[in-house]
């Protein structure tokens, strides 16, 4: 399939050249539509890898995860200078602590805007998040001087919903579009920084392609993100095939459209009713049910929990989560990594042994 993957720096330059505002957004959940209605373009910061983490280490404990360490280090080395503001969802204690540190101690040039997320899927959670998004509207209005109407908001919402539906279709057709593991995730992770209309065009092009399914032992990849991305090449090399995922940066953000005609509630519904996620308070039972259904629908034979070290929301669930999956006949393995370090070769050995066990 002949699809050119845009470079992040080129996308950002194009946004700035057209007068757009860039928001650096930390993981995980937020409303792209709300930002875009103000001509603010979200560019997500998942680490990034390969930075001098000692810059963040002067402010953070050693046991804080590398996503937060690297994000702070990247900011201090000037990597976020292109951004006009930094949006930090309250995903976990570490990210909330980073937001407080930036606002109270470090005071970067960019505006720091926190977003508080509910921890459930109740009616009151939808109401809470809708109110949070209204509060963000006021912050963005003060920042930009713009006041989008309800029609403006709904137009932005529908544009993002179309991209989300196409992303879901890519997942449903991943075995028909002929991409190996790393090329598929390079495509779907464009959703992290590419404007919705551009992502939709690439997704539609990919969906027009038909190819023979890729060979390999089918597995589910779970965790926060597949970094370093070499892990996907490694899985290819040892005859593994990621047929579905429960990754925070990908599969947990296959958002369904909201149903309300009121813009803020509609945006809130889409996030609150997203696939189960420990950072949003979903129960272990909900996650077991979700992963078991995912395995049944995809034909996956096992689950690789590919985890960032010290990620408490992820690691707390794993003992009971793995025990529940075992009762459903699903074997699993845990791989812990620091996204700033090269991928150890023993990871290939462990994954290879796991795949051999699944194939036997």
User: Residue 305 pairs with which residues in a beta bridge?
Assistant: 222, 334
Query: For every one of its 360 residues, what pLDDT tens digit does the chain have, with 9 covering 90 and above?
Result: 567 889 999 999 999 999 899 999 999 999 999 999 999 999 999 988 888 888 988 899 988 999 999 999 999 999 999 999 999 999 999 999 999 999 999 999 999 999 999 999 999 999 999 999 999 999 999 999 999 999 999 999 999 999 999 999 999 999 888 889 999 999 999 999 999 999 999 999 999 988 888 889 999 999 999 999 999 999 999 999 999 999 999 999 999 999 999 999 999 999 999 999 999 999 999 999 999 999 999 999 999 999 999 999 999 999 999 999 999 999 999 999 999 888 888 999 999 999 999 998
Is residue 312 packed enough to be buried (19+ CB in 10 Å), middle (13-18) or exposed (0-12)?
A: middle
The angle formed by the CA atoms of residues 35, 39 and 43, to the nearest 5 degrees, is 55
Cβ(315)–Cβ(92) under 8 Å?
no
pTM of the model: 0.94
pLDDT digits (tens, 9 = 90+) for 206-265: 999 888 888 899 999 999 999 999 999 999 999 999 999 999 999 999 999 999 999 999
In degrees and rounded to multiples of 5, residue 127 shows phi and psi of -60, -45
Return d(Cα 80, Cα 89) in angstroms, integer: 17
Q: What are the structural domains, with CATH classification, of the chain?
A: 8-149 (3.40.50.11890)
Return d(Cα 33, Cα 163) in angstroms, integer: 11
Return d(Cα 232, Cα 185) in angstroms, integer: 9
Return d(Cα 23, Cα 83) in angstroms, integer: 5
Return d(Cα 202, Cα 275) in angstroms, integer: 24
Return d(Cα 280, Cα 120) in angstroms, integer: 6
């Amino acid at each position: 399939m002949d699809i050119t993957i845009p470079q992040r720096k080129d996308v950002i330059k194009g946004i700035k050249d057209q007068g757009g505002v860039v928001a650096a957004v930390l993981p995980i959940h937020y409303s792209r539509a709300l930002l875009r209605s103000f001509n603010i373009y979200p560019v997500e910061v998942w680490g990034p890898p390969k930075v001098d983490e000692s810059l963040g280490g002067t402010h953070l404990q050693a046991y804080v995860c590398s996503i937060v360490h690297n994000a702070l280090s990247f900011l201090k080395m000037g990597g976020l200078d292109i951004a006009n503001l930094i949006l930090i969802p309250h995903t976990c204690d570490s990210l909330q602590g980073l937001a407080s540190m930036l606002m109270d101690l470090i005071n970067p040039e960019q505006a720091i805007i926190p977003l508080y997320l509910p921890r459930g899927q109740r009616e009151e959670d939808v109401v809470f998040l809708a109110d949070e998004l209204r509060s963000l509207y006021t912050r963005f209005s003060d920042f930009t001087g713009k006041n989008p109407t309800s029609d403006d908001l709904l137009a932005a919402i529908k544009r993002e919903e179309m991209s989300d539906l196409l992303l879901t279709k890519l997942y449903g057709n991943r075995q028909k579009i002929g991409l190996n593991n790393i090329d598929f995730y390079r495509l779907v992770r464009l959703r992290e920084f590419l404007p919705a209309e551009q992502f939709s065009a690439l997704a539609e092009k990919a969906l027009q392609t038909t190819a023979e399914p890729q060979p390999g032992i089918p597995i589910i990849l779970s965790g926060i993100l597949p970094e370093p991305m070499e892990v996907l090449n490694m899985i290819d090399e040892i005859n593994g095939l990621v047929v579905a995922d429960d990754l925070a940066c990908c599969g947990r953000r296959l958002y369904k459209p909201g149903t309300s005609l009121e813009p803020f509630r509609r945006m809130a519904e889409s996030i609150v009713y997203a696939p189960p996620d420990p950072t949003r308070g979903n129960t272990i039972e909900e996650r077991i049910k979700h992963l078991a259904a995912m395995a049944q629908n995809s034909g996956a034979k096992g689950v690789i929990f590919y985890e960032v070290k010290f990620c408490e929301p992820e690691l707390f669930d794993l003992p009971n989560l793995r025990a529940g999956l075992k009762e459903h006949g699903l074997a699993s393995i845990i791989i812990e990594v620091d996204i700033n370090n090269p991928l150890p070769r023993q990871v290939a050995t462990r994954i290879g042994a796991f795949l051999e066990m699944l194939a036997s």
